Structure 1
Amino acid sequence: MTDLLPPLNKRLDVVDALRGFALMAIVILHSLEHYNLYCIPEGMPDWLNMLDLGVWETTFFLMAGKAYATFSLLFGFSFYIQFRNEQARGGDFRRRFAWRMFLLFLFAQFHSLFYNGDILLLYAVAGLLLIPVCRLKDKTVFIIALACLFQPFEWGRVLYSLFHSGYTPLSDGYITYKQLALPVMKDGNFLELLRSNIWHGQLYSNFWQVEHGRLFQTVGLFMYGLLLGRRQYFIPSAQSVRRWRTVCTVCAAAFGPLWYIKESMGDMLHTAGLDRLSVPMDTIVMSWFNIAFMGLLVAAFTLAWFRTNGLRIQRFIIPYGRMSLTNYITQSIIGVFLYYGYGLGLYKTTGATVTFLIGLGIVGLQLFWSRRWLARHKQGPFETIWSKGTWLGHQRNRA
């Protein structure tokens, strides 16, 4: 296949724009959740409670699980670009990428001091699995990724439970650490929050992610992102347009049945006397539903970009996506100060409507800062540290 990807070090605007919109959705979701400090304020008028319910359900239906999945897909794509660029220079990026994931682990530790909903640690661990597959054939990578998205661990629990009626699969190991973290989030001072997040907060976050299928899902999406790069899905061409239309068709066809199964599965399992299977089956179906919805959204976004060379709103968000690591970490620092007890304590008084607007405000502030920063610098602050650290001691850095 002819390589139509841009020259080395030239970015793809459509990918930055897509990453920016995914991060924007993540910020809004975190704000609605009060950054894991879920609370419905009391004493609000009925009309506001109804509005809050509509905002909450609509936002989570459109964004929850889809924004994270998009972010994961683009992480794998970025790995391919870095691997391809170093290969074009005559180098091998695999060892350097392993070091890069260690640096991401350090970023995760810093981020986790403030917010116990970090995903960077999961990315640092799952990212290592790109190394052994990055030279395999497309078909092989596709099959491995599909096996991961199949959620083999959850299916194993389903099968074990079918043959052992006394076994009930659970996904509440994270609850213990959540209960230890909550009092500090509500009423602790800043130093108490740091101490809590060093241990309890990280266990809360990472147990939740593993117990809700995020590990296998992340690995699978990373690999599909790698394939999107190989197959040049984000390069405008007649072939890539056809491919994204196919993605739209497949995901749209899967969306309806998966939505129906998601909504009715509890009743079906109860009727069959298999309530004990609800936890792993919920994880499996919700994961597939979110991926199908995400695929539909990403395909529509990319096709709109190809048709117009980027809508104005798509291009407007590019700087936000270019500084995704910096903005991801700093939005947590801002958000926990706004909502937690050591800061403004807004979790007590803000419902979904207000927190949605606050989330948009955080995005707007960061977008303004991103545009100003990138007018003077090539990368965001944390992106610069990560890039220089990745190539530390390498001839490329000295050059």
Structure 2
Amino acid sequence: MIHTIQKSERLNVVDALRGFALLAIVLLHNLEHYNIYFIPEFQPAWLQVLDKWMWDSFFFLFSGKAYATFSLLFGFSFYIQFHHAEQKGLDFRGRFAWRLVLLFLFAQLHALFYNGDILVLYAVAGFVLIPVCKLKDKIVFWIAIFLLLQPFEWGRMLYALSDPDYVAVGNRFMIYSERVGGVTMNGSFWEVLRSNIWDGQLYSNFWQVENGRLFQTSALFMFGMLLGRNGSFIRNDRTIGFWKRVLGIGILAFVPLYLLRVFVPEHIDNPSVLLPYKIITQSLGNFAFMLILVSAFVLIWFKKENGGNWQKFIIPYGRMSLTNYISQSIIGVCIYYGFGLGLYRVTGATETLLIGLAIFTVQWVFSRYWLSCHKQGPLEYLWKQGTWIGSKNNKKK
């Protein structure tokens, strides 16, 4: 079903959910010291115990799930833009392709500072939406399911079972990780930028491809588009029932996937079978848990009709997600990297979470102030203007 967009309800819950996912991403990046995995050894015993608990808890709850939520909403945003253009008699596909090129340029800015960028992946995977955006829901759904199941990893695993001499490779990213590690810890600002132009991006993107995120991201984009087509963020009896079913499916799927991921690997002797097996179970497990988080968030929003106060609180942060995503990385590397304050040397998980909350607070205050004067964040505005550059639609605005 194609529904007319109802901004007042639909986008508020989506912006709140996007803000929640981005907050989780910020906290995870701080826990990692923005890809400097370093644990101070001089911390008191009680703090080490607390740090381990914080690390394990946050990674269990949000690692791979916050990114998946962000990806789901990227596909949803595509649907909104496509549908609005369609209502005006415009074909958005060409503009969207150009929009992805612009996103790639934003990614280059971000990747200069932080070697954990996901925007390059989004700019590439986003092109899968163009050929499927006019297909029927069922066709799109089954294509997304196929991609979600990690067909490449299944192929590798089955081939490894049939050929004992086959060696699966999944650590090419380590070559570039080792190159950038010393630079981020001890290099100057210009050395970090120079390293990230090539090695940092290869490190980030090899890691994502080798861990199944190319297929998973493409699937999530399609699922997000389907959520838009079916008006899944508009509150009514049908959508409440839909999200309750999603919550149940997420719970039923996550439990066995978690058990398969934790207990089966020790019984797999062939490393070329084990590697794709881990990627498949990890990817599917993260997807199932993401379903739990997203459906619970939306159902809580629907229960209050216009969302809970804590959900509405985070809306400004989600409305400026591109600006906040890029700027939090710039702030973070200045705090942790060697050219900045170098706090990776002295901060454990508990301190980094507090720093992450401080970054979020500063960005939330700025977001609220900026949106009181403007309709969009600064980078969101540039992205939109660039998308429609040269069009009559842009000139009217």
Moved over 4 A (4+): none
Q: CA shift at 1:2, angstroms?
A: 6.3
- Pairwise CA RMSD: 1.1
Residue number in structure 2 paired with 1:293 = 289
Residue number in structure 2 paired with 1:150 = 149
For residues 239 and 348 of structure 1, the distance between their equivalents in structure 2, rounded to whole angstroms, comes to 52
Residue number in structure 1 paired with 2:111 = 112
Residue number in structure 1 paired with 2:5 = 5
**Percent of pairs with identical residues:** 57
Q: Does 1:347 align with 2:344?
A: yes
8 Å CA contact 2:31, 2:353 repeated in 1: yes
Q: CA shift at 1:11, angstroms?
A: 6.3
Deviations 1:286-343 (A, max 9, x none): 0000000000110010011011020000000000000000000000000000000000
Q: CA shift at 1:224, angstroms?
A: 0.3
Q: Does 1:274 align with 2:270?
A: yes
Residue number in structure 1 paired with 2:372 = 375
Residue number in structure 2 paired with 1:137 = 136
Contiguous gaps of at least 5 residues in structure 2: none
Residue number in structure 1 paired with 2:280 = 284
8 Å CA contact 1:266, 1:275 repeated in 2: no
Residue number in structure 2 paired with 1:261 = 260
Residue number in structure 1 paired with 2:17 = 18
8 Å CA contact 1:108, 1:118 repeated in 2: yes
Residue number in structure 2 paired with 1:59 = 58
Residue number in structure 2 paired with 1:189 = 188
8 Å CA contact 1:4, 1:235 repeated in 2: no
For residues 279 and 335 of structure 1, the distance between their equivalents in structure 2, rounded to whole angstroms, comes to 32
Q: CA shift at 1:170, angstroms?
A: 2.6
For residues 6 and 204 of structure 1, the distance between their equivalents in structure 2, rounded to whole angstroms, comes to 41
Deviations 1:219-262 (A, max 9, x none): 00000000000011100010001110110111111111111111
Give the letter aligned to residue 6 of structure 2. P
Give the letter aligned to residue 331 of structure 1. Q
Residue number in structure 2 paired with 1:390 = 387
Corresponding residue to 2:353 among 332, 348, 356: 356
Deviations 1:46-67 (A, max 9, x none): 1111110000000000010000
For residues 170 and 278 of structure 1, the distance between their equivalents in structure 2, rounded to whole angstroms, comes to 11
For residues 93 and 210 of structure 1, the distance between their equivalents in structure 2, rounded to whole angstroms, comes to 28
For residues 235 and 344 of structure 1, the distance between their equivalents in structure 2, rounded to whole angstroms, comes to 45
For residues 23 and 290 of structure 2, the distance between their equivalents in structure 1, rounded to whole angstroms, comes to 15
Deviations 1:115-174 (A, max 9, x none): 000000000000011000000000000010000001011111101111110123131100
What does residue range 171-320 of structure 1 map to in structure 2 within 5 Å? 171-269=170-268, 273-308=269-304, 309-320=306-317
Give the letter aligned to residue 119 of structure 2. L
TM-score, normalised by the number of residues in structure 2: 0.98
8 Å CA contact 2:51, 2:349 repeated in 1: yes
For residues 226 and 369 of structure 1, the distance between their equivalents in structure 2, rounded to whole angstroms, comes to 30
Is the partner of 1:118 in helix, strand or coil? coil
Deviations 1:194-233 (A, max 9, x none): 1000000000000000000000000000000000000111
For residues 39 and 264 of structure 1, the distance between their equivalents in structure 2, rounded to whole angstroms, comes to 28
For residues 146 and 79 of structure 1, the distance between their equivalents in structure 2, rounded to whole angstroms, comes to 19
8 Å CA contact 1:168, 1:277 repeated in 2: no
Residue number in structure 2 paired with 1:102 = 101
Q: CA shift at 1:345, angstroms?
A: 0.2
TM-score, normalised by the number of residues in structure 1: 0.97
Alignment length (residue pairs): 395
Is the partner of 1:387 in helix, strand or coil? helix
8 Å CA contact 2:10, 2:234 repeated in 1: no
8 Å CA contact 2:2, 2:230 repeated in 1: no
For residues 214 and 350 of structure 1, the distance between their equivalents in structure 2, rounded to whole angstroms, comes to 30
Contiguous gaps of at least 5 residues in structure 1: none
For residues 177 and 281 of structure 1, the distance between their equivalents in structure 2, rounded to whole angstroms, comes to 24
